[in-house]
């Protein structure tokens, strides 16, 4: 698993060149190609009574995007990077998926995307839809958070949420591929209160010891690759504890795997990766199980 090519999706409202430049630490992990994508929402140029399809408006919006992309591309070209650009009209998620497929990117970088309350009730947010439909890692990059800008290199200190599933293995593989970029990893497993509630003290200690052993094993794998790694075992609601751990250990990014669930199960029962992607102030890297 290597990251040589990323898709940088920008609506020019949230992610700008400075956000992209903060990802250039990935060059140490092999990044050499950035593909820009700007999607002009269909409703901005859709048919209106009396005026028809707003062709002139589309042309103007394309021109604006083109000018911005050329400026960004010039900066990257001069650094020896390969750059591509796509400007499309339509719905964001299908366009992101098709460009990611066409270009064969290794990582999709996008801001968190919302819809109207009503649309979200029926189809979820654009972020959830993208996570549900993609087979590629997605970085939900909240570059400007409430607490100010994210540091120079968001890949510097990672918190890995591990649940020992197949997707956790993928998370670990992905982080190992980032060798050279990542300085420290905080590994975290969260035990649910419900799972240990009916156990005796001795049984709880056994469970605790087993998870600590597994965390230590992963730490050893990372340490061998010269990545400073620390294990943490938390108890409680997974999503809340991950956010708490991220804050306590001052990480720059949360990395979680994503299990494939059915669309309705995912929407109504929720999942840690979706919830974090929707809520967290920190950048969230989500690795699908099938990657």
Partner 1 sequence: MAKKVLNVEDDIDTRTFVSAVIERNGYTPILAKDGEEGMKKIAEEKPDLIILDILMPKQSGIKMYHELKLDPSLKDIPVIMLSAVSKRTFLRSQEALTEFGDETVPEPQAYLEKPVEPEDLAEILKKVLG
Interface contacts to partner 1, rule CB under 8 A: 35, 66-67, 69-70, 73-74, 77-80, 82-86, 99, 102-103
Minimum distance from CB of 76 to partner 1 (Å)?
Answer: 9
Say if CB 215 and CB 189 are below 8 A apart.
yes
Say if CB 77 and CB 33 are below 8 A apart.
no
Nearer to partner 1, 4 or 125 (CB): 4
Nearer to partner 1, 99 or 160 (CB): 99
Nearer to partner 1, 35 or 138 (CB): 35
User: Which of 32, 29, 25, 57 is CA-nearest to residue 44?
Assistant: 57
Nearer to partner 1, 73 or 182 (CB): 73
Minimum distance from CB of 170 to partner 1 (Å)?
Answer: 27
Nearer to partner 1, 84 or 270 (CB): 84
- Considering just the CA atoms, what is the radius of gyration of the chain in Å? 20
Q: How many CA atoms lie within 13 A of 46 on its CB side?
A: 6
Angle between helices 272-279 and 126-133 (to 10 degrees): 140
Minimum distance from CB of 9 to partner 1 (Å)?
Answer: 14
Contacts (Cβ under 8 Å, ≥6 apart) of 207? 191, 195, 196, 199
Minimum distance from CB of 111 to partner 1 (Å)?
Answer: 22
Strand pairing category for 107-110 and 5-9: parallel
Minimum distance from CB of 183 to partner 1 (Å)?
Answer: 25
């Amino acid at each position: 698993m290597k990251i040589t090519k990323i898709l940088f999706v920008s609506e020019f409202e949230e992610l700008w060149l400075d956000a992209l430049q903060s990802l250039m630490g990935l060059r140490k992990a092999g990044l050499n190609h950035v593909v820009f994508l700007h999607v002009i929402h269909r409703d901005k140029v859709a048919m209106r009574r009396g005026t028809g399809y707003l062709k002139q408006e589309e042309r103007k919006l394309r021109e604006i995007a083109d000018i911005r992309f050329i400026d960004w591309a010039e900066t990257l070209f001069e650094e020896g990077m390969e750059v591509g650009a796509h400007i499309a009209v339509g719905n964001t998620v299908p366009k992101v998926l098709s460009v990611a497929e066409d270009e064969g990117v290794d990582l999709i970088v996008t801001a968190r995307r919302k819809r109207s309350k009503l649309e979200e009730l029926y189809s979820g947010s654009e972020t959830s839809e993208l996570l549900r439909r993609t087979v590629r890692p997605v970085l939900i990059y909240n570059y400007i958070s409430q607490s100010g800008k994210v540091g120079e290199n968001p890949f510097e200190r990672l918190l890995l949420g591990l649940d020992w599933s197949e997707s956790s293995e993928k998370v670990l593989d992905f982080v190992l591929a980032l060798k050279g970029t990542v300085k420290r990893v905080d590994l975290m497993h969260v035990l649910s209160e419900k799972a240990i509630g009916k156990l005796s003290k001795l049984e709880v200690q056994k469970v605790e010891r087993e998870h600590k052993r597994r965390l230590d094993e992963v730490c050893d794998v990372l340490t061998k690759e010269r990545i400073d790694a620390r294990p943490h075992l938390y108890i409680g609601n997974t999503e809340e504890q991950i956010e708490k751990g991220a804050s306590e250990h001052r990480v720059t990014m949360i990395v979680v795997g994503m299990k494939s669930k059915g669309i309705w199960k995912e929407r109504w029962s929720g999942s840690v990766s979706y919830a974090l992607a929707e809520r967290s102030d920190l950048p969230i890297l989500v690795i699908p199980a099938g990657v």
